[in-house]
Structure 1
Amino acid sequence: MCGRYNVIDDPFTQGLLEGLGISRRIHSRYNLAPTEQVPVIRQLEGRNGLEDMRWWLVPHWAREPDTRYAMFNARAETLTRSKAFSGPLKHQRCIVPASSFIEWRTEAGHKQPYCIQPVDDVFAFAGLWEHWGHGRETIHSCTILTTAAVPGMEQIHPRQPLMLPADLHASWLDPTIDGHPLLAQLIPGLPCALEVVPVDPVINNSHHKQAPTAVGPAMFRLEAG
């Protein structure tokens, strides 16, 4: 799963935006949590744009926004069988930029958070977006796709965000392409090297909005592939 992440205004994030034809900058945000507004890249009228969306997908057919069901993540393996996700998969796909994400592992009776960050790069998480309501009650929302953890990552968590390689960015964002055939290309992997660093448990509080503080050296590093 992916329940917290950070996005930083740095050359890597800016390079992702510029590569997709977006001139805006992202303001650094830390410890982003479900139901918060998060920056999302989507394509409208043939142009990629950056906008904030609610990180917890609200299906267009829902009677009202609801948090009874965990809609901030969507399992890539079951998208086509989901009433909430199969529709957006077809033509409402997005990219969620991320500089790192947080996962937890129980150690000595407490939950130790780990910051999982790319080495000299930025993550482009595969996402879906949705539109709910009308007028002042309109909500644009999104979900982050997850997949099975790659070898080595499962010692922290059995799932991981689905990280798009650069050669899939354009087709994933293109709403004229049916997303169902694209699923065959969304295999678990790492488009860039990453490291896993233990951080201060203060980040367990979702109201803590500062950069995570390392409390030890990197636990391990995984190479791209």
Structure 2
Amino acid sequence: MCGRLNVADSPGVKSLCDQLEITLWPEEGMLKKRFTRATDRVSIVMQHNGKSVMRNAVWWLLLEPDHRGPVMRFIPSKYTSFNTRYDKLNKRGSAGYQAFRQQRCVIPASGFGESQKRGSSMTYHDMIASEDTPLAMGGLYREWHGRDPHGNTFIETSCSVVTLAPHPKLMPIHEKASPLMLSAEDNSLQRWLDCAAHPVEALSDLLEPTIRHRFTVTPINKPSLYQPIGESFTIEPD
């Protein structure tokens, strides 16, 4: 997965948020952006005391403190971590090992983008999920505790998207990996989100590449410009 999300103010995203029964929303509201890239902030949903809450998090799992300036803040580390590979989830000492067990989250999204190198050029595709099959990306989150110059403590949240082995239907678009896509319709979303009720030993089937949504795929010239350069086509769920 190349590291860009489409989070539009769409019926599908609204429906998913309704299904999640979010009890606490971030003060700034849910972040919506057609072109959300790695290191941007994105809205995630997690469980806290048995209830779904939303936070806005940095899309880069590993952060480090930055003491420059009057206010200490956290910035993305030098280690690439906007995605967490499925084969690292059970590796002790990896960035996602503990989060996989205790801090799983989902990222409501309209769709995502993929890129692939063809010879010396790059190809780009946007994938938008049908409104009747709301998309949630399976992810991990971490919390970083800091203190400002006045002695006040604060928490910064970071996240990553879990990526799986390539899916055969996506190979022409991106042949290296596929994102973990979850749905409320088959209970995969609920299982991933509820860390207390569903330990990692019971989630092995979710780490198999599966397309649970119907996608409209459009070849585009560049993610930042979003100009179609070919006919759209459909990828059906498995």
Q: Calculate the TM-score normalised by the size of structure 1.
A: 0.85
2:146 matched to which residue of 1? 134
AA aligned to 2:80 is A
C-alpha change, 1:32 and 1:178, in structure 2 (3 Å) is: same
CA distance in 2, matches of 1:106, 1:97: 28
What's the secondary structure of 1:68's corresponding residue? coil
What's the secondary structure of 1:181's corresponding residue? helix
CA distance in 2, matches of 1:142, 1:182: 22
Q: Is residue 76 of structure 2 the alignment partner of residue 58 of structure 1?
A: no
**Residue of 163, 170, 177 corresponding to 2:181:** 163
Q: How far off is 1:196 after superposition?
A: 1.9
Larger helix share, 1 or 2: 1
Q: Calculate the TM-score normalised by the size of structure 2.
A: 0.81
Larger strand share, 1 or 2: 2
Alignment of 1:12-91 (within 5 A): 12-22=12-22, 26-58=30-62, 65-83=75-93, 84-91=95-102
Superposed CA RMSD: 2.3
What's the secondary structure of 1:9's corresponding residue? coil
What's the secondary structure of 2:100's corresponding residue? helix
Percent identical across equivalent pairs? 28
C-alpha change, 1:68 and 1:41, in structure 2 (3 Å) is: same
Q: Is residue 232 of structure 2 the alignment partner of residue 215 of structure 1?
A: no
Deviations 1:112-158 (A, max 9, x none): 21101223333211000001123346321001000122212111112
CA distance in 1, matches of 2:89, 2:22: 28
Q: How far off is 1:216 after superposition?
A: 2.1
Alignment of 1:104-115 (within 5 A): 104-107=115-118, 109-115=120-126
AA aligned to 2:130 is V
Query: Which protein shows a greater Rg?
Result: 2
Query: Can you give the 5+ residue segments of structure 2 that lack an aligned partner in the other structure?
Result: 65-73, 149-153
Query: Can you give the 5+ residue segments of structure 1 that lack an aligned partner in the other structure?
Result: none
What number of residue pairs does the alignment pair up?
Answer: 214
CA distance in 2, matches of 1:27, 1:143: 16
List 4+ stretches of structure 1 deviating above 6 A.
none
